[in-house]
Amino acid sequence: MAFFLPTLCKKRVSEITPPLLRKMGIRGILPDVDNTLSTHGSQQPLPAALSWTRELSGLGIKLMIISNNHKERVEPFAAQFSLPFLYDAKKPMSKGFSKASEELGIPKEELLVVGDQIFTDILGANLSGIRSVLVEPIELEKGFFFRVKRWMERPFLHRMEKRLPRG
């Protein structure tokens, strides 16, 4: 079960603050797109997510969007943030995370994965030796596949609530 535990849980990316990142020794962040920086499938970023990435970039923290989506989805989205991106990352496999670490020039120990899904973002981070923050989905997806995935996450979420502080 430890493979499914994030380092921290937060409601939104904007709760991942510069003082927290300094305390953790983080120099780079790998955020997911859908339900982390925007609602699922939307090309419109959340204003708070835009502000958050700009603030962190201004402080010298490197960011790279990492997504399992295709280039046609991720490239125009990442352009709105002026951030590099990695598409078709095949999370939870570690190859995409390793490539992001290499491209940013930051060791995995100083990276943080931020995402809303346990079986892709969090598991992938853990398998890659990268710390992670699980954020609550901005809105729940409607499709059958997503409903099944969210149902499968429930036992792990319950266990996390007992073991991890939300702060």
Identify the band that residue 136 occupies on the pLDDT scale cut at 50, 70 and 90.
confident
Structure pTM?
A: 0.86
Q: What angle do CA 79, 84, 85 make, to 5 degrees?
A: 90
Taking residues 106-133, report their average pLDDT: 94
Asked if residue 164 has pLDDT above 60, the reply is no
Mean residue pLDDT of the chain comes to 87
Amino acid at 25: G
- In this predicted structure, the answer to whether residue 145 has a pLDDT above a threshold of 70 is no
- Indicate the SS3 state at residue 151: helix
Contact call for residues 134 and 52 (beta carbons, < 8 A): no
pLDDT score, position 152: 65
Instruction: At 161, list the tokens.
Output: 């609530």
